[in-house]
Amino acid sequence: MFARNCWYVAAQSSELSQAPLARTLLGEPVVLYRTQAGAAVALEDRCCHKRAPLHRGSVVGEMIRCGYHGFEFDSAGICVRIPGLDTIPDNARVCSYPVVERHRYIWIWMGDRSAADPALVPDFHTNDDAAWAYTGARLAVAADYMLVIENLLDLSHVGFIHANTIGSDDTSASIAWESTSDAVRGVRAAHDIETPPHNRRQGFGPRCDQQKIMTFLPCSHVTIDITTTERVPAGASQTAKGMHIMLLNSVTPETASSCHYFWSSTRDFAIDDPVVTEFFQSMTVRAFDEDRVMIEAQQRIIDRNPAAPTVTVLGDLGGVQARRRVAQRLLTETDAR
Amino acid sequence: MFARNCWYVAAQSSELSQAPLARTLLGEPVVLYRTQAGAAVALEDRCCHKRAPLHRGSVVGEMIRCGYHGFEFDSAGICVRIPGLDTIPDNARVCSYPVVERHRYIWIWMGDRSAADPALVPDFHTNDDAAWAYTGARLAVAADYMLVIENLLDLSHVGFIHANTIGSDDTSASIAWESTSDAVRGVRAAHDIETPPHNRRQGFGPRCDQQKIMTFLPCSHVTIDITTTERVPAGASQTAKGMHIMLLNSVTPETASSCHYFWSSTRDFAIDDPVVTEFFQSMTVRAFDEDRVMIEAQQRIIDRNPAAPTVTVLGDLGGVQARRRVAQRLLTETDAR
Amino acid sequence: MFARNCWYVAAQSSELSQAPLARTLLGEPVVLYRTQAGAAVALEDRCCHKRAPLHRGSVVGEMIRCGYHGFEFDSAGICVRIPGLDTIPDNARVCSYPVVERHRYIWIWMGDRSAADPALVPDFHTNDDAAWAYTGARLAVAADYMLVIENLLDLSHVGFIHANTIGSDDTSASIAWESTSDAVRGVRAAHDIETPPHNRRQGFGPRCDQQKIMTFLPCSHVTIDITTTERVPAGASQTAKGMHIMLLNSVTPETASSCHYFWSSTRDFAIDDPVVTEFFQSMTVRAFDEDRVMIEAQQRIIDRNPAAPTVTVLGDLGGVQARRRVAQRLLTETDAR
């Protein structure tokens, strides 16, 4: 059971074409495609006739045609043609879901249609702002999406899982949490720590300061604003190098134990340098795959005994608050029915 | 739960030898083999001793010997030897099932033995009648067998699934249904339609008439009698080409969501022409695999929400009647217990 | 549910190193490793923090460090370090299990710690006694461990499953069973039988006598003491060849339907001959894999209908007694809680 009155990322814009795309979202089969005119559409991926998946059919103009017996549906999910029949039954329709195409993503609203306000789509402008460079991908993770959210909010893992990529031991970092009705925010500040491997490769010296601001936006998004500043010896002549990265993470439930993890790593420096872009793309792919392996192992252990007790420490507070925000949403939605 | 007082196809005759064959039928493990004398036998595939599958054993004369501890059973399922023991316990036996070998198939009766009348085996004589040519195969389908039965009774799918093989858009066809206590029969008549690709390849002109008579024989058989006649321009000198095909389909439940689909495509023309035989064999294999892919996708969607509603239209009436016939049989059998 | 107050084999000694080994034992995730000092340790394979498996971490001196957020645990399962925290919560600990390293194995006790007496470890001295030669391995079997125990206690299967390796038809053998509170013992004596293939390969003549003493030691061990003596024609001049083998079998439940089968075949002749050692190793690997295939097939049939009745004969009495011993233990343990 998932909160439904919120925008989830259904797909990257680049994934959509007139070739129907099957994707399970919030446990439900959804077919995504573009009409001939280019509009993004999301429908229930189950023909109302014999329950064949519509994604095995084809887009015909503004319609999608089922590949089994040829029923055709418009973008609102209404059946507009049944081969061999003159009259179409009133109940011949499938669910359609509001979508918004913005910031390189297709956003989907699977709850109460009347509440689907496009203004509620999170501000992910650095994904397609000309002043920023984009790298990103979609990653399938065989785990509850909240485990990925928790991973992103407790960055004390970075020095352990990512020791060979983006991490360094920052366990001396201070952590401060704050919550509002709309967000959960943590600030993790580390001073004079060993410079992470990837900053070293970009020419940083051996020590640095680093600040990470993690923001959870219910129900499925975590932005991480990272500033890394080289420490230069007192009295040295060189200027301290700096690096500013904005990570945008959207984790969409597929089932109770799997999710679609959409991430982007955007930067406001060297934005036209393809070598730097390729470096960030490949490094982040590698690092986030290190997370995936651990999170999937964690899920398998949880599955074996979901009741096993856990210990909560300071670094977990963001995750605890995030779970509360989602549970509260779910409760409100359930009460409304 | 399946109706049991009817003949199902257990195997093609050609599949049986002295090498035991394991097959799940109606959810139960069955071992099929021929004795040294050549008689077909079907037994419960579970030794009464330690429940090892008998199919891992071997046929020894008229007996089958378990491969684990050497217990031997006759064709009635009675244990006739236990190595090291002089006396055989009375309860040392496994289930045996009546079988009939006819029309290239091994037919099995898994219900009340006293009702297993060989005269009730459907008339599939075109499978081995000298006036007919045979092509056929067995296809494993990961779906409820009734989805295959429905597929065969609603041929409006042919123009969509099989557009590149045996199909053409015949959605102008008239359909008429009739039911008796023994069968459900539909007549699908299309006039002046585009000639299906495979008839084109056999030299037909661009337009044709086509009649298909679909007959459901409870609980698992659908015959389809297809007559295709070329349309010749008024006043043209040539004779209209014709083609008569009898499709015999038997779909045996393996589990609630998988089945063994035995099909044959028999014809009364060019019966000695190996090129035509090869053409029909390979085309039908290809076409029925198109069905399999769609039906398995349909089953997976049904599994995700078996309660999702459906819309029923005219073409579905045969399937609806067939389901009723089977449900009625099942009810009668249950009451009898 | 398994009896817990007994020593199970967790691993071969040779499997343990500072690289953590994940193994499911009695349904629970266990991590096994050696500390830097070489001591064998067995802990719950689930970090008390976020439930990541500890086997993905690393051994650091006498501690194991979780690979996710760096929590460290000592050999008693107590958390001794949390990165970034000065105070460690009292409940930060994982289960630790008593282990004994003896006779080439790591023995684990997963029940009441106070009862974990090393003197209760079975006497498997022939595994590492200088007067004996060892061959052995671990075999994963996808079946209830009691099916393997039964297999080992009813050796009437040898002439059927192993006809081409270690077996011969000894169905003329006499069998006698005796039970004590600590063990179930059977003696199987066969006179003047066809010599098994592997004895033939060691130079035996065509006929032999063979005695096998099978001993079940609750809850998971079966030793088999085999003496094979060549029969020489009356009045012949040669000395009868003999062969004495001690098979030690420990079958540790992994789940209710899978197990770890640790076996060794030890002998007191030709103990320094590598050719004989290689012969016994490869033959036994092959023979026990024949068992595995049959037992896994048996398990699959049982799973399909766990209630299917079975017939019990004389050869099964050892297995019946063994099951009773285990059930009695389980009952006693349950009552004690």
Is there a contact between C91 and A301 if contact means CB atoms under 8 Å apart?
no
Average pLDDT, chain A: 95
Is there a contact between B70 and C171 if contact means CB atoms under 8 Å apart?
yes
Q: Which residues of C touch A314 (CB under 8 A)?
A: 84-85
Q: How many CB pairs under 8 A join A and B?
A: 74
Evaluate the CA torsion angle A198, A203, A206, A211 in order and state its sign.
Answer: negative
- Is C157 touching B (CB cutoff 8 A)? yes
pLDDT given at position B238: 80
Would you report the helix, strand and coil content of chain A in percent, each value rounded to 5?
Answer: 25, 35, 40
Is there a contact between C52 and A297 if contact means CB atoms under 8 Å apart?
yes
Written as six digits, the tokens of B33 are: 């083999």
pLDDT band for position C165 (50/70/90)? confident
Comparing A187-201, B89-103, C80-94, the range with the smallest average pLDDT is A187-201
pLDDT greater than 90 at residue B168: no
pLDDT greater than 80 at residue C35: yes
**Torsion angle defined by CA atoms of residues B177, B180, B184 and B186, in that order, rounded to the nearest 10 degrees:** -30
Averaged over B242-271, what is the pLDDT?
A: 96
Which residue of A304, A305, A314, A320 is the best one to mutate when testing the C interface, meaning the one whose CB has the most C CBs within 10 A? Answer: A304
HSE value, Cβ hemisphere, 13 Å, CA-based, for A3: 21
Which 172-231 residues of chain A touch chain B by CB within 8 A?
none
Question: Is the separation of the CB atoms in C167 and C160 below 8 Å?
Answer: yes
Written as six digits, the tokens of B99 are: 């079988």
**Nearest CB to C297 within list B53, B79, B84:** B53
pLDDT given at position C306: 96
Is there a contact between C84 and A314 if contact means CB atoms under 8 Å apart?
yes
Q: What is the pLDDT of residues C47-76, one digit of tens each?
A: 999 999 999 999 999 999 999 999 999 999
Closest-approach residue (CA) in chain A for C48 = A310
pLDDT band for position A171 (50/70/90)? confident
Residues above pLDDT 70, as percent of chain B: 100
Question: Is the separation of the CB atoms in C256 and C143 below 8 Å?
Answer: no
CA angle centred on A190, ends A189 and A193, rounded to 5°: 165
Average pLDDT, chain B: 95
**Nearest CB to C294 within list B28, B52, B91:** B52
Q: Which residues of B touch C294 (CB under 8 A)?
A: 52, 56, 67-68
Residues whose CB is less than 8 angstroms from the CB of residue B202 and which lie 6 or more positions away in sequence, other chains included: B241, B243, B276, B279
pLDDT band for position A62 (50/70/90)? very high
Closest-approach residue (CA) in chain B for A44 = B301
DSSP H or E run through A188: strand A184-194
Q: What is the pLDDT of residues A224-272, one digit of tens each?
A: 999 999 998 888 888 888 999 999 999 999 999 999 999 999 999 999 9
Which residue of B298, B302, B312, B316 is the best one to mutate when testing the A interface, meaning the one whose CB has the most A CBs within 10 A? Answer: B298
pLDDT greater than 80 at residue A86: yes
Choice between B167 and B179, residue whose per-residue pLDDT is larger = B179
Amino acid at C124: F
Average pLDDT, chain C: 95
From the CA of C168, how many Å to the nearest CA of chain B?
12
Written as six digits, the tokens of B164 are: 């590149």
**Nearest CB to C49 within list A171, A304, A310:** A310
Distance separating alpha carbons of residues B62 and B18, to the nearest angstrom: 10
Averaged over A308-316, what is the pLDDT?
A: 95
pLDDT given at position A178: 95
Q: What is the pLDDT of residues B277-322, one digit of tens each?
A: 999 999 999 999 999 999 999 999 999 999 999 999 999 999 999 9
pLDDT greater than 90 at residue A121: yes
B194 CB burial (10 A radius; 0-12, 13-18, 19+): middle
**Nearest CB to C84 within list A161, A311, A315:** A315
pLDDT band for position C172 (50/70/90)? confident
**Nearest CB to B84 within list C297, C311, C315:** C315
**Nearest CB to B85 within list C160, C293, C313:** C313
Residues above pLDDT 70, as percent of chain A: 100
Neighbouring-strand partners of residue A268: none
pLDDT given at position C145: 98
pLDDT given at position C171: 82
Closest-approach residue (CA) in chain B for C292 = B68
From the CA of C93, how many Å to the nearest CA of chain A?
9
pLDDT greater than 80 at residue C168: no
Residues above pLDDT 90, as percent of chain A: 88
pLDDT given at position A203: 87
Q: Which residues of B touch A50 (CB under 8 A)?
A: 150, 298, 310, 316
From the CA of B83, how many Å to the nearest CA of chain C?
6
Distance separating alpha carbons of residues B118 and C165, to the nearest angstrom: 46
**Nearest CB to C301 within list B51, B65, B83:** B51
Q: Which residues of B touch A67 (CB under 8 A)?
A: 160-161, 294
pLDDT given at position A271: 94
**Nearest CB to B67 within list C160, C175, C314:** C160
Distance separating alpha carbons of residues A9 and A221, to the nearest angstrom: 9
pLDDT greater than 80 at residue C169: no
Strand ordering across the sheet containing C63-65: C58-60, C63-65, C72-73, C79-81
- Is A161 touching C (CB cutoff 8 A)? yes
Q: Which residues of B touch A45 (CB under 8 A)?
A: 301
Which 77-136 residues of chain B touch chain A by CB within 8 A?
none
**Nearest CB to A173 within list C56, C84, C91:** C84
Q: How far out from the chain centre does Cα B42 lie? A: 18
Q: Which residues of C touch B65 (CB under 8 A)?
A: 160
Give how far Cα A82 sits from Cα of A18, B158, B161, B303, C269, Å: 21, 14, 15, 25, 83
pLDDT greater than 80 at residue B63: yes
From the CA of A88, how many Å to the nearest CA of chain B?
9
Averaged over A70-83, what is the pLDDT?
A: 97
Is there a contact between A50 and B298 if contact means CB atoms under 8 Å apart?
yes
Comparing A200-209, B163-172, C81-90, the range with the smallest average pLDDT is B163-172
> What structural domains does chain C harbor?
7-120 (2.102.10.10), 125-336 (3.90.380.10)
Distance separating alpha carbons of residues C3 and C312, to the nearest angstrom: 24
Is there a contact between B160 and A53 if contact means CB atoms under 8 Å apart?
no
Q: What is the pLDDT of residues A10-27, one digit of tens each?
A: 999 999 999 999 999 999
pLDDT greater than 90 at residue C104: yes
Is there a contact between B29 and C301 if contact means CB atoms under 8 Å apart?
yes
pLDDT band for position C118 (50/70/90)? very high
Which 17-56 residues of chain C touch chain A by CB within 8 A?
28-29, 45-46, 48-53, 56
Which residue of A28, A44, A47, A51 is the best one to mutate when testing the B interface, meaning the one whose CB has the most B CBs within 10 A? Answer: A51
From the CA of A2, how many Å to the nearest CA of chain B?
16
Classify A6 as helix, strand or coil. coil
Other C-beta atoms within 10 Å of B90: how many?
9
Q: What is the pLDDT of residues B261-282, one digit of tens each?
A: 999 999 999 999 999 999 999 9
pLDDT band for position B18 (50/70/90)? very high
Closest-approach residue (CA) in chain A for C45 = A301
pLDDT band for position B163 (50/70/90)? confident
Closest-approach residue (CA) in chain B for A255 = B304
From the CA of B173, how many Å to the nearest CA of chain A?
7
pLDDT given at position C237: 80
- Is C256 touching A (CB cutoff 8 A)? no
Q: What beta strand segments (E) does A35-145 contain?
A: 40-44, 58-60, 63-65, 72-73, 79-81, 96-97, 99-102, 105-109, 133-141
From the CA of B171, how many Å to the nearest CA of chain A?
5
Written as six digits, the tokens of C132 are: 């004996």
From the CA of A142, how many Å to the nearest CA of chain C?
14
Partner chains of B (3+ C-beta pairs under 8 Å): A, C
Averaged over B124-135, what is the pLDDT?
A: 97
Is there a contact between A301 and C89 if contact means CB atoms under 8 Å apart?
no
pLDDT given at position A235: 81
Which 297-316 residues of chain B touch chain A by CB within 8 A?
297-298, 300-302, 304-305, 308-311, 313-316
Residues above pLDDT 90, as percent of chain B: 88
Residues above pLDDT 70, as percent of chain C: 100
Q: Which residues of C touch B85 (CB under 8 A)?
A: 313-314
**Nearest CB to A83 within list B156, B161, B316:** B156
The length of chain C is: 337
Is there a contact between C301 and B53 if contact means CB atoms under 8 Å apart?
yes
From the CA of A160, how many Å to the nearest CA of chain C?
6
Distance separating alpha carbons of residues A261 and A146, to the nearest angstrom: 11
Would you report the helix, strand and coil content of chain C in percent, each value rounded to 5?
Answer: 25, 35, 40
Which residue, among A241, A44, A248, has the nearest Cα to A132 in the 3D structure?
A: A248
pLDDT band for position C19 (50/70/90)? very high
Averaged over C119-127, what is the pLDDT?
A: 98
